[in-house]
Structure 1
Amino acid sequence: MPFRGPGRPRAAGLDERVVAAALELIDAELPVTAGRLVERSGVSRAAIYRRWPSLADLVAAALDRGREPLEIPIDGDLRSAIFESFLGGAERQPSTYSDERMRQRLRLALADRALQRAYWDAHVSRRRVATLTALRAGIDRGVLRDDLDVEACVDLLGGVFYYQLVVRGVPMTDADALARCRAAFDVVWRGMAAGSA
């Protein structure tokens, strides 16, 4: 029999009802408050706070709903796999994760540092693991420099794509944006490649 921690067992479906209520509020551009969540979900305030330590944590979970985990195959051409992972994440958002949801995530996180931190801790930092793993595989194979700061490289590579989406405001389906990303990625890759120091 599996171990159950202290406290009451979780009732099936409560988490989903609360997250769905939070998304309704977010999509309606209404503030996510405990009172509104209770009213829309039918879940008590105490039950909500038993599941999420803060409303920022709950909103972060809601904003990530519908996003697919990032996977990068490391057994083939790492350069292409890493490039496609960034492109694929921007280009193939599932239908449950709309462009408007992404824009709401950016607006809300930039307006609320606690939410920005919660989203980073619970979701972004985990999504980076696949890229970090792929870069480390490149170092192990001798494809990439062994003195790379892989955390900084993930920031740099991510910035190439986010700049197009967030600053320029163009999708990755735009041919010019794709060409800019490819050119910038090539510059970064040459700097990371073994023998480039």
Structure 2
Amino acid sequence: MTSADTPLRPCHGPAAEQDAPRRGRPRSEAAEQAIYGAVEKLMEDGLGLSELSIERIAAEAGVGKATIYRRWPNKEALLVDVVARLEEPMPPPAGPTYRDDLINAVDYMRRRGLIKRTRWVVKSALGQMNTWPELKQVYHERVVHPRRAMIREIVRRGVAAGELRADVDVELLCELLIGPILVRTVLWDDAPLDDPDLPRQMVDAALQGIAADRARN
């Protein structure tokens, strides 16, 4: 029997998975979820961005490297998507007052900070910003800018209502109100975040210093 007549043996495992014809969107989505989950798991285990490799991610996900490369051109592109995916958008303001919205915004950041993998992602992303322009750009576009815009909107509502001083720069007011929770979630690993009343304490402490002086009205 010639080599041309030799029957092909069935393949199993990652190689077969990456070479088999694609059978529609559900399979594609399942593979992507497995890849995302593998990166998140490796990150939770404490691996740095430089330690992650396509080989390691593929092994953890149970897929072939080609499965990853069909979706992302390189490791950097994959990790950018992972960072953006883990940072869920802040819920829209629901009121009834600007103070309630500020407390809810700070509480959102507090709760996100309690999630181990999110704290790792934020710290790692910030640490890589200056050496990884693509990550910096995407992180700012998908995470930083939308959050800043929402906080800015809330603060402007407070100024328009006469509850916050109009003579202070809006950006500075935003930093005074959001800065404390960012310090705890990003810079201070041992800072407590488990007190659900912490957002109210932070917001009210700031408002006592920037609230309009009603005695002059």
TM-score by length of 2: 0.62
**Structure 1: any 5+ residue segments left out of the alignment?**
1-8
Post-superposition CA distance 1:126-174 (Å, at most 9, x none)? 2333222212223343433445533332222111222344436111508
For these two proteins, the number of residue pairs brought into alignment is: 177
**Aligned counterpart, 2:72:** 48
d(CA) in 2 for partners of 1:57, 1:24: 16
**Gaps in structure 2 of 5+ consecutive residues:** 1-23
Partner of 2:45: 28
How far is the alpha carbon of 1:14 from its aligned partner? Answer: 4.2
Percent identity between matched residues is 19
Does residue 138 of structure 2 align to residue 118 of structure 1? yes
The whole-number CA distance in structure 1 between the counterparts of 2:90 and 2:196 is 24
TM-aligned CA distance change 1:19 to 1:36, over 3 Å: same
Q: How far does the alpha carbon of each residue in 1:5-57 deviate from its partner, in whole angstroms, 9 at most, with x for none?
A: xxxx974344323321211221122333233333444223132239x972441
- Write the distance in 1 (CA, Å) between the matches of 2:36 and 2:141: 18
Q: Which residue of 1 aligns with 2:202?
A: 181
1:144 aligns with 2:164: yes
Distance in 1 separating the partners of 2:170 and 2:31: 39
> CA 1:189 to 1:131, structure 2 compared with 1: closer, same or farther past 3 Å?
same
3-state SS of the aligned residue for 2:29?
Answer: coil
CA spacing shift, 1:117–1:135, aligned 2, 3 Å:
same
Between structure 1 and structure 2, the one with the greater Rg is: 2
Partner of 1:5: none
Amino acid at match of 2:71: A
Q: Match for residue 177 of structure 2?
A: 157
Map 1:10-89 onto structure 2 (within 5 A).
Answer: 11-30=28-47, 31-41=51-61, 42=63, 43-49=67-73, 54-64=77-87, 67=88, 69-74=90-95, 76-89=96-109
Cα RMSD (Å) of the superposition? 3.6
In structure 2, C-alpha distance between the alignment counterparts of 1:82 and 1:179, rounded to whole Å: 9
